[in-house]
Structure 1
């Protein structure tokens, strides 16, 4: 995993350098994605790459490679590092320029970095379930952009982790939005609910896969906001992300969810997701 892609070159990790005036370092002025690799094959890479370029458009940020070329670079990086079960992380910043708040001149090229990492599937946690903590959502109002500005997410995750929890479930007032690094779902009377796609959440790629799986398998799926009391009184709760897949939540704060074990709907989605993983990009 020692080969990185940095601004047009595949180089050894020891030789990687980032300029101190890179706007990603100074302002968090950039975007990123995390793509799963299963058995050496990428999973939903097309969707991740399309979202990256959509985030770039929303930020008026220019990615210095066409999407097809960038995808080929990442596939080469994965092959070079011999990734079997892991992730590839990529980020693009607005580039290096003298520090000023407004955007630099148009001829400043974005900085591009990508690296790989082994990342086994968290099977034990997926089987037993995890706990979460309710945290007020203090993030900005463009959570639909997968930007490097993650301070609100980090503070929430740290608050949860310091109390021994796996995730923070965020809420704006009484309305549940998502997790600090995941989308949040409840199951009530056999129906799956999750916050609709708005500027208040990230439209997760795993979230989209779950939506597809529900439609293909006649599982009721509603994009409908729910409140904290509905979360705590749900039959089942689960979160979803690239690294956590479909993760049961069995306790939130002091409230046990359902019977305190992963529920039947969540287990069904886990099984369907595992089947879909076998269709990883070839």
Structure 2
């Protein structure tokens, strides 16, 4: 089942037409969330990010599109499968067409919500072998649009194909200044000594909720110095640890980049704190 503008439809139901702007123009934005036992994790953060993304794209936000509405529409969908399952939710908003012309719109929106069942109820640290390489065929521009999760993910698609062809688990993306900004599947963090560093959003990385949560956690640790600074490719092989943060897996330790092998000490210490923050977000909303 999936939720289309409040109506539950069976999978594989035709509900988009040939003029759909999300399909024709990539004119859509999405938010990925996690739901555990009927509780939407980091709901407020995801809602505010979605609203911010829609404003940046000049979409018209309906008056009823409140945080409570967003939660109700998500729970309406997953209640069909049972609220006790752990779900990954993708909440997609796209701009409507008008006058049967996909290049014109009144900026009104439609939405659809899909769900996938997850095995692990909370975030986990995936510490299996995970080798990465720089993806240098194309660059990601450092602009405000690059901070959003939109339907234009062709760079990630091509990068993923490159990774598969060369037996890498992931690739690191560069901006037009050849600075490392993120992985194909999440935000990247680098650890050197007692410093934890991640690229600033002005360099073009996705401004995800999980990135914000990791920054909040690390910034409060007395034994760690947090830096939000541009990341040069030359720094990667000098690092003690590299890890990726995304809304689906939580944290993924990078085990190898070129000839350098990495530990995962910091990531291991952060995963419990991330889950504690997730539980806290639920208790605050009750």
- Sort the TM-score into its range (normalised by shorter chain): 0.7 to 0.9
1:21 aligns with 2:24: no
**Structure 2 match to 1:166:** 169
Contact persistence 2:242–2:254 (CA under 8 A): yes
Q: Residue 155 in 1 paired to residue 155 in 2?
A: no
Counterpart contact for 2:241–2:254, Cα < 8 Å? yes
Per-residue CA shift, 1:56-84, capped at 9, x if unaligned?
11111124442232232112222333252
Calculate the TM-score normalised by the size of structure 2. 0.86
User: Taking structure 1 as reference, are residues 151 and 194 closer, same or farther at Cα in structure 2, changes over 3 Å only?
Assistant: same
For the pair 1:221 / 2:226, whether they are aligned, the reply is yes
SS in 2 for 1:160: helix
Equivalent residue, structure 2, for 1:48: 46
- The 3 A distance-change label for structure 1 pair 25 and 238 is same
With over 3 angstroms needed to count, the CA separation of the structure-2 counterparts of 1:16 and 1:147, relative to structure 1, is same
1:1-282 matches, within 5 Å, as: 3-64=1-62, 65-68=64-67, 69-82=69-82, 84-97=85-98, 98-101=100-103, 103-105=104-106, 109-121=108-120, 126-136=126-136, 137-140=138-141, 141=143, 142-172=145-175, 173-198=177-202, 200-218=204-222, 219-252=224-257, 254-258=258-262, 262-279=263-280, 281=282
Relative to structure 2, which stretch is displaced further, 131-140 or 28-37? 131-140
CA contact (8 A) 2:123 2:251 kept: no
- The alignment covers a number of residue pairs equal to 273
Q: Which runs of 5+ in 2 are unaligned?
A: none
